[in-house]
Structure formats: C-alpha cells, structure tokens
Structure 1
Amino acid sequence: MTPPFPLTWLYVPGDRPHVVAKALAAGADVVVIDLEDAVAPDRKEYAREATADLLADPQPLPVHVRVNALDTDWAAADLARLASLPGVRGLRLPKVTSPDQVRQVATSTPVPLYALLESALAIERAYSIASAHPSLRGVSLGEADLRADLGVRADAGLDWSRSRVVVAARAAGLAPPAQSVHPDIRDLDGLAASCAHGRTLGFLGRAAIHPRQLPVIERAYLPTESEIEHAETIIKAAATNEGAQALPDGRFIDAAVVTMAQRTLALTRRG
C-alpha cells in the first residue's frame, strides 16, 4: 500500500539493472531510476532500453524515471521510449528553468511530472514552474548543481533557496517538496541532522542514494511519540469544543493548529 505521504525516494542508476532490482526490494516509498547524472554518455542508450524492459510491466511500488536534461537529444529519446510504459508512475525532469518546458512535456504524456530546480534562474521562477500545468505534481531542488551555480560553499547558503521552493510548492497547491540527496552515504549522523533541519524548513521526506539512508530519513520525518500524543490531544479537544480554545496546559489551539495535528496523524498511517 502506498503511504499517503512518500518520505523516501531512492535513486538508482538506470544502466545497472541488478541494482534496480535490489532497490525495488529495499523498502523505499518510491524508486527513481536515473538516466541522467548517474549514467555516463556512452551508457545512455543501454540505460534507456534496460529501463524500458523493466517498466514494460507494472511494478509493485511507484517507480519514477529521471530523464536527461530537456535541452538534450537524450531527453527526447527518453520521453519517446518511456513515457507511455505501464510501469512508469512519474517522470522527473532535471534542470528545469521555465514553465514552458513543463508544458511541452505535459502535452505528450499523461504521466505525473516532477520538476527539479537546479539553478538560480529556476529558483527565481519557482512559482511559475510549480504552477505550470496540472500534470506537475511536485518540485524539488537539485542541490549539487544549484550549489555550483550559486558558488555557495557553506550549506546554510542554500537555505533561502530551500525556503523558496517550499513556499512555491505550497502556493501552487503541490505536496511539500522532498529534500535533495545527502551525498555522503557513510555520514548517517550528518544525514539525520540535515533532515532535522530540512523538516524545520517545511520539507517532507528526502531523496536517497543508498538503502542505508532510508531508515534515517524515515526516523527524521515520522512524528515522535510525543508529537503524536500532542496531535491526538488537539484533535480530541477540537472534536468536543467549537472555536478557538486553550488546552489544559495553556497552549492555544485554533483551526490552523488542528490542521497541523491532522497532518501529523496522517504521517503515522503508513502502509
């Protein structure tokens, strides 16, 4: 059963079918087969055909494909070959810089689209991209490329861009974005700290590049026992009273607080 809010998005190279097979059993909410950065130029065609063979049939969990950058011939071939296959549940579009790019892809496929914003220009156009077409179901950052484009060295230098994409997604009526990957698969403590920071900024879930990162991401984004108890208290109080009110401990609740409590409880119901 697909959870109401996917928290883990596991990227896997499209030119390594045996690794893709393992990824499908690794416990991620969504597997993303990567045809772009993870695949060398001389392996692009092989990766595309291997992915097409796998996704000719429906898969037991959502599988997305990150196609190549839309200004390349590879992207056109990726979309023509893969967009209508039964096993493709989403297409991730890298290095999007304009809403027109989203619209162009949307006219040729019914598959849900997800835009990756990876440049200063994309961040400036975040809302127009996020609201470009009903087929667009999500936006997120590609932080490695964005960091290079901005010349940012310290991680905190990306926080404004992160907040910008969170706000753009919400304003466009999309799900909260997932965080970009944490590139050091050995640094699980750093991953946990980064996820905690991302959660404070409004992200929900995270992309991963190794199965060992998945439980760390889940722990960071699933509500704690105390958060669940607090949410249940709010929902119970709201069900027995009308209007704004204070809990016995003095904390004030209103409709906005109830909405947050409902979201917390929704995250506990993962199948």
Structure 2
Amino acid sequence: MNRTPLTWLYVPGDRPHVVAKALTAGADVVVIDLEDAVAPDRKEYARAATADLLTDPGPRPVPVHVRVNALDGPWAAADLTVLATLPGLSGLRLPKVTTPDEIRKVAAATPVPLYALLETALGIERAHAIATAHPALRGIALGEADLRADLGVRGDSGLDWPRSRVIVAARAAGLAPPPQSVHPDIRDLDGLAASCAHGRALGFLGRAAIHPRQLPVIERAYLPTPAEVEHAETILKAAAADQGAQALPDGRFIDAAAVALAQRTLSLAYRV
C-alpha cells in the first residue's frame, strides 16, 4: 500500500455484516478483532466468519488485518492455523507480546506481515528486542487498556513514558512510527482530538479507532495543517537554492534535520 496509513478501524470478528460495512467506512486499514471484542463462546464462529471473508483473493477497498487471540491462550494456535496463509489477509496483529521468540515463532508459520501489540510492563521493557525480532515484523504499538491495568495507572499522563519508549524503540528498529491506541469513548470527539494532538506531539502517527465517526477526527489531527505544509515547502525551496547556510524569515537556519522534517511533512500531506 503506497498511501501512508493514519487510521486503523477495529471491528468484531463475530459480526461479519459490521466487517462488510467497515471496509467502506473510510479507514486506511480494517482490523478484524478475534480477541477482546469477541466473547469466549463466539471465538470459533468469529474465526470461521473471518476465514470465509479472507479466502476470497479478490481486491478489497482497504487492506484487512486480523488481531488474533493472545499467543499464550487457548485460541491463538487455531487462529494462526486457519488464517495465516489466506490470500485476503494483509497483516496479523499479535496481542500481549512479551518476547522476541513469540514474533519469530509466528513468522515461521506465515508469510504475512506482523504487528506486535505491547500491553504489559514486560513487553515495554523489551520493546526494542521485540521490534528487531524478525524482518516480518512491520510495526509495534501499545495496547493501553491492558497496560493501564498492568501498571495500575489511573491518570493518562502515567502512560507517557511507555508511549515514548515504544516510539523510540520503533524508530531505533527502523519501523514506522506507531499509531496511538484506541480512544474508548466514541461520543467524546473533542477528547479524541485533544488526545490525538498530544499523541502527535509525542511522535505517534495515526490512531486505531473503534467507530467510523472517530476516523475523520484522527485524520484531521494527524495530517499537516496548511501552515505546516507552506512552511515545509518554504524550507525545501530554500534548501534547493543551494546557497550555503540559509535562514528563514523567522530567523531559523535550515539544516539537514529541518529538510528531513519538511520532506516528511509533505510526504504525509500528500499521503504517499
């Protein structure tokens, strides 16, 4: 996929009609959830319904990922056996990863790109080792609800250090910046926007969602503003003039870091 993803829409795997609607809801990636969104007595149905969808190799409006059940639980082995080689699957999201060996084991069983969710203190401590476990791993992210419970954190600021830890680990491993975890209150769009602004300031790129109404809020928060685009274009034009050290009208000098940031801003603005 050439388009830089900013939105990942989670949908319950045991509601295939909701999955079908999600494919055209405007998300960059649809994530069929077999884990938290599915009750234990619905796990087998959710797996079978997801397999039915992904058996068809035909094109889809957006890539489809699947979040399987926890790797140390009773359902993950069947999830991977049934789903791992289906032609419609674009990615597997692995919850509660705590060791690099878990990534390597799954990578040996499937050619599909993998994404690790770090949801415990141990997973956070091993973030870089997990991020560099195998070339099949394309990204890491937080699962904040479980991490909050594991750490006993009540206030949102208590998660800022784990957030930064994961962002730095992803960058050090050469992975894309992680997306933010979900905002659980689908009615609180103002709170979602404020949370996205904070996440963007930390270094996240995009966000997972649990309802289509959250998608435009996330996209607006993470796309560069017109002023940011204009500033980036000014930097690149000045740099292209190649007249030695350049200074912008506000007095800031243009260096390699400023040029790299400007290029990233424009790349994101035009979604390439």
Q: In the TM superposition, what is the alpha-carbon distance from 1:184 to its structure 2 partner?
A: 0.1
- Asked if 2 retains the 8 angstrom alpha-carbon contact of 1:244 and 1:255, the reply is no
Alignment correspondent of 1:99 = 100
Q: In the TM superposition, what is the alpha-carbon distance from 1:263 to its structure 2 partner?
A: 0.6
CA shift in 2, pair 1:163/1:244, >3 Å: farther
Give the secondary structure class of the aligned counterpart of 2:249: coil
Alignment correspondent of 1:15 = 14
- Asked if 2 retains the 8 angstrom alpha-carbon contact of 1:7 and 1:204, the reply is yes
User: Counterparts of 1:20-99 in structure 2 under 5 Å?
Assistant: 20-58=19-57, 59-99=60-100
CA shift in 2, pair 1:244/1:212, >3 Å: same
Alignment correspondent of 1:161 = 162
Separation in structure 2 between the aligned mates of residue 149 and residue 39 of structure 1, nearest angstrom? 21
After TM superposition, the score normalised by the length of structure 2 is 0.97
Separation in structure 2 between the aligned mates of residue 207 and residue 171 of structure 1, nearest angstrom? 22
- Asked if 2 retains the 8 angstrom alpha-carbon contact of 1:11 and 1:34, the reply is yes
Give the secondary structure class of the aligned counterpart of 2:123: helix
Separation in structure 1 between the aligned mates of residue 113 and residue 226 of structure 2, nearest angstrom? 34
- Asked if 1 retains the 8 angstrom alpha-carbon contact of 2:24 and 2:61, the reply is no
- Asked if 2 retains the 8 angstrom alpha-carbon contact of 1:3 and 1:29, the reply is no
Separation in structure 2 between the aligned mates of residue 178 and residue 268 of structure 1, nearest angstrom? 17
Alignment correspondent of 2:220 = 219
Give the secondary structure class of the aligned counterpart of 1:223: coil
Unaligned runs of 5+ in 1: none
Give the secondary structure class of the aligned counterpart of 2:75: helix
Alignment correspondent of 2:110 = 109
Alignment correspondent of 1:170 = 171
Matched AA of 2:38: V
Q: In the TM superposition, what is the alpha-carbon distance from 1:85 to its structure 2 partner?
A: 0.6
Separation in structure 1 between the aligned mates of residue 198 and residue 4 of structure 2, nearest angstrom? 19
Q: In the TM superposition, what is the alpha-carbon distance from 1:49 to its structure 2 partner?
A: 0.4
User: Counterparts of 1:100-249 in structure 2 under 5 Å?
Assistant: 100-241=101-242, 243-249=244-250
Separation in structure 1 between the aligned mates of residue 182 and residue 243 of structure 2, nearest angstrom? 43
Separation in structure 1 between the aligned mates of residue 2 and residue 250 of structure 2, nearest angstrom? 33
Give the secondary structure class of the aligned counterpart of 1:73: coil
Alignment correspondent of 1:258 = 259
Matched AA of 1:20: V
- Over the matched positions of the two proteins, sequence identity in percent amounts to 81
CA shift in 2, pair 1:130/1:242, >3 Å: farther
- Asked if 2 retains the 8 angstrom alpha-carbon contact of 1:170 and 1:176, the reply is yes
Q: Cα deviation per residue 1:19-65 (whole Å; 9 max; x = unaligned)? A: 00010010000000000000000000000000000011232311000
- Asked if 2 retains the 8 angstrom alpha-carbon contact of 1:14 and 1:34, the reply is yes
After TM superposition, the score normalised by the length of structure 1 is 0.98
Matched AA of 2:232: A
Matched AA of 1:129: I
Q: In the TM superposition, what is the alpha-carbon distance from 1:3 to its structure 2 partner?
A: 4.9
Separation in structure 2 between the aligned mates of residue 262 and residue 172 of structure 1, nearest angstrom? 21
Separation in structure 2 between the aligned mates of residue 253 and residue 120 of structure 1, nearest angstrom? 40
- Asked if 2 retains the 8 angstrom alpha-carbon contact of 1:31 and 1:62, the reply is yes
Q: In the TM superposition, what is the alpha-carbon distance from 1:243 to its structure 2 partner?
A: 4.8
CA shift in 2, pair 1:55/1:229, >3 Å: same
Matched AA of 2:49: A
- Asked if 2 retains the 8 angstrom alpha-carbon contact of 1:243 and 1:254, the reply is no
Give the secondary structure class of the aligned counterpart of 1:220: helix
- Asked if 2 retains the 8 angstrom alpha-carbon contact of 1:3 and 1:269, the reply is no
After the TM superposition, list the runs of 4 or more consecutive aligned residues in structure 1 that deviate by more than 6 angstroms.
none
Q: In the TM superposition, what is the alpha-carbon distance from 1:270 to its structure 2 partner?
A: 2.9
- Asked if 1 retains the 8 angstrom alpha-carbon contact of 2:8 and 2:30, the reply is yes
Q: Cα deviation per residue 1:174-210 (whole Å; 9 max; x = unaligned)? A: 0000000000000000000000000000000000000
Question: Does 78-87 or 236-245 show the bigger shift?
Answer: 236-245
Q: In the TM superposition, what is the alpha-carbon distance from 1:246 to its structure 2 partner?
A: 1.2
